[in-house]
Amino acid sequence: MSDPTFDLIVIGSGPGGYVAAIRAAQLGMKTACVEKVKEGWGGTCLNVGCIPSKALLDSSHLYYEAQHGFATHGIKTGKLQFDVAAMLERKNAIVKGLTTGVSGLFKKNKIEKYQGTARLAGGGAVEIVNGDSVERIAAKRILLASGSVPIELPNLPFDGETIVSSTEALCFNTVPKRLAVIGAGAIGLELGSVWSRLGAEVTVIEFLPHIAPTMDRGMTRELKKLLEKQGLTFMMETKAKSADIKKGKVTLTLETPQGESALECDKVLVAVGRKPCTEGLNLDAAGVKLNERGRIIVNEKFETSAQGVYAIGDVIGGAMLAHKAEEEGTAAVEMMAGHAAHVNYDAVPAVVYTHPELASVGMSEETAKEKGIDYRVGKFPFKANGRARCMDEDAGLVKILADAKTDRMLGMHILSARASDIIAEGAIAMEFHASAEDVARSVHAHPTLPEAIKEAALAVDKRPIHI
Ligand code: FAD
Ligand code: NAI
């Protein structure tokens, strides 16, 4: 083995990598973190993912509300205008603030930063390539946290201008008149919402019969209706076959259940998923095995098939979510330090940040059925929730699944304003193995949106008060 300069080298500074590096430093490990994107501390999440998308979602939501929501509160606005450049500048400033923050946390925790593309060089060594220069560092352990990149459709390759990934769709400097979105997953629905709120005609093309396919079907049906009311058009069970680009305009040839059709648009956002980023890491030579989907195989300690090499986050299996990557990063280094740690994958919340937001934790009804679990369902609509009425946010509902015999909560699904915030109650309930009755008996402040959770929990036992 080469001389270990470090206890741990983390490759990738996304939410998985940077959180792991900080936790490792807290545990007394001499830690380095390598990031290939210049000043890209924070990875996909902070630079081109969670944060910039939410910044645009929040700006575009305010604009939409000013147009469609203020009047019912008695607020008159006159002619509204918006400035895309100012919105993008605000988004960029938020990203800059947070990425600088990660850099500051590295300094505070004495984590050595390396800028360049890392590759495994065997025996605990890592080579960092920067143009022609190659620097070599080494450690007792290496943690791969190299994340993921957008999937390209072979028949619709990215050109960075007209057929784009989420990265470019976060930076359109004018509102496209007609935007086609391929894929009705989280990215398609979120960025489709942003540009639709700002005035684009958005058509979402999805090859499955339902949107957000990993979420509870009953909930996604409700969300789809609300998005349609907001002006998004959905073409379900439809595939984009090819694109013909002439003078910056695109004609998509689509295969629909009714046969072939054409769709004219100005930009195409391809959002059909992301794939693990493993290129150039030299994994094969290092003995790091991948599964059939190209994700790094790890055991319950996040150890790969190569000794001393670990992996976490989007580059391994499971949901591609920032908070899942963070938890894995923390658990992996805690186990390296000899602590007991684990990630409870049954209690990882997921959110689609449309308006209203769709949030869930635990099982969907479809999963409960597949597993043959006997369950009870409690639902409560926000139209019967006082705070939702005051906010003029009475669309949506809470749905809770509980085991029919033990009453243990199996899943919680929320379609509402700020569902992303209030799903935390569900995650804690799942973590503590709460029963629906536990949730129902917990005192909820009045008037608040989470009172709908208490009522849905009461509804599991067929005794909601307000409906
Ligand atoms: P990443 O964040 O992808 O970071 C990996 C880092 O490794 C990158 O910075 C990359 O440059 C670097 N790297 C790769 N290879 C090398 C190498 N050889 N050498 C050095 N560095 C390397 N998730 C949520 O939970 N909530 C959201 O709201 C959300 N919104 C999203 C919105 C968009 C538009 C996108 C694209 C994603 C979103 N995600 C969201 C997903 C989330 O961004 C990812 O799940 C998360 O970033 C994964 O973290 P990670 O640390 O595994 O990898
Ligand atoms: P996704 O996997 O969430 O959704 C992709 C969608 O595209 C699916 O509905 C799929 O059926 C459809 N699809 C696939 N191929 C297609 C084709 N050829 N034609 C038409 N439809 C097709 O992927 P997405 O939205 O690109 O997001 C990537 C990852 O980023 C996801 O894993 C997601 O978890 C994460 N993310 C999370 C967010 C959040 O937590 N709010 C926000 C954005 C991304």
C-alpha to C-alpha distance for 126 and 134, rounded to whole angstroms: 10
Over the stretch 59-104, which tens digit does the pLDDT of each residue have?
999 999 999 999 999 999 999 999 999 999 999 999 999 999 999 9
Q: List, for residues 273-315, the tens digit of each pLDDT value.
A: 999 999 999 999 999 999 999 999 999 999 999 999 999 999 9
142 CB near ligand 1 (under 6 Å): no
Quote the pLDDT of residue 4.
59
Q: Does 272 sit in the ligand 2 pocket, CB within 6 Å?
A: yes
Strand partners, 267: 179
Instruction: Reply yes or no on whether the pLDDT at 3 is more than 90.
Output: no
Based on the residue annotation, tell me whether 446 is a catalytic residue of this protein: yes
Same domain, 25 and 88: yes
Q: Which of 34, 35, 44 to mutate to test the pocket of ligand 1 (most atoms within 8 A of CB)?
A: 44
Atom of ligand 2 nearest to the CA of 214: 3
Q: What is the mean predicted confidence (pLDDT) over 7-30? A: 98
Residue 1 domain-assigned? no
Among residues 372, 380, 384, 302, which one has the least CA distance to residue 337?
302
Average pLDDT in the 45-69 region?
A: 98
Q: Residue 466 domain-assigned?
A: no
Residue 255 lies in a domain: yes
146 lines ligand 1 (CB under 6 A): yes
Integer CA distances (angstroms), 326 to 7, 210, 278, 410, 459, in order: 20, 29, 19, 23, 34
Whether residues 13 and 143 share a domain: the answer is yes
Q: What is the DSSP annotation of 412-427?
A: EEEEETTHHHHHHHHH
Q: What is the four-CA torsion angle of 245, 250, 251, 254, rounded to 10 degrees? A: 110
240 lines ligand 1 (CB under 6 A): no
Asked if 323 and 397 sit in the same domain, the reply is: no
Q: Is 149 helix (H, G, I), strand (E, B) or coil?
A: strand
What is the number of structural domains in the chain?
3
Last residue of a domain, one of 327, 343, 359: 343
- 3-state SS string over 328-380? HHHHHHHHHCCCCCCCCHHHCCEEECCCCEEEEEECCHHHHHHCCCCEEEEEE
For residues 180 and 232, give the distance between their C-alpha atoms in angstroms, rounded to a whole number. Answer: 10
Q: What is the CATH number of the domain that holds 178?
A: 3.50.50.60
Residue 157 forms part of a structural domain: no
Indicate whether 2 pLDDT > 70: no
Q: Which domain holds residue 25?
A: 6-150+275-343
Nearest to 8 by CA among 139, 112, 122: 139
Q: Give yes or no: residues 263 and 284 share one domain.
A: no
36 and 112 housed in the same domain: yes
Domain co-membership, 286 together with 423? no
Q: Distance (Å, rounded) from C-alpha 105 to C-alpha 108?
A: 5
| CA-wise closest residue to 316 among 346, 343, 334, 294 | 294
In a domain, 156, yes or no: no
Q: What is the mean pLDDT of the chain?
A: 97
Mutational pocket test of ligand 1: of 34, 50, 137, the residue with most ligand atoms within 8 Å of the beta carbon: 50
For residues 281 and 256, state if they share a domain.
no
- Is residue 94 situated within a structural domain? yes
Tell whether 10 and 69 lie within a shared domain: yes
Predicted TM-score (pTM) of the model is: 0.98
Take atom 2 of ligand 2 and give the residue whose Cα is closest: 273
Is residue 32 in a domain? yes
Domain co-membership, 266 together with 193: yes
Domain-terminating residue out of 245, 272, 299: 272
Is 180 within 8 Å of 232 (Cβ atoms)?
A: no
Tell me, using a 6 A CB cutoff, whether residue 352 lines ligand 1.
no
Are both 391 and 455 inside the same structural domain?
A: yes
400-458 pLDDT, tens per residue?
Answer: 999 999 999 999 999 999 999 999 999 999 999 999 999 999 999 999 999 999 999 99
Cα of 306 vs centre of ligand 1, distance in Å, is: 23
Residues 264, 281 within the same domain: no
**What percentage of the chain has pLDDT greater than the value 90?**
99
pLDDT band at 35 (very low <50, low <70, confident <90, very high): very high
Please report, for the domain that includes residue 425, its CATH number: 3.30.390.30
Catalytic residue (one of 210, 413, 444, 446): 446
Residues 194 and 240 placed together within one structural domain of the fold: yes
Q: Is 316 in the pocket of ligand 1 (CB under 6 A)?
A: no
What proportion of the chain, given as a percentage, has pLDDT over 70? 99
Q: Is residue 86 part of a domain?
A: yes
User: Six-digit token pair at 195?
Assistant: 């540009």
Q: Kindly state the tokens that stand for 17.
A: 């990598």
Which of 248, 272, 296 finishes a domain? 272
Residue 225 makes CB contacts below 8 A (sequence gap 6+) with none
Cα gap 67→210, rounded to integer Å = 29
Q: pLDDT at position 248, please?
A: 83
Q: What is the DSSP letter of 297?
A: P
User: How far apart are alpha carbons 461 and 248 in whole angstroms?
Assistant: 58
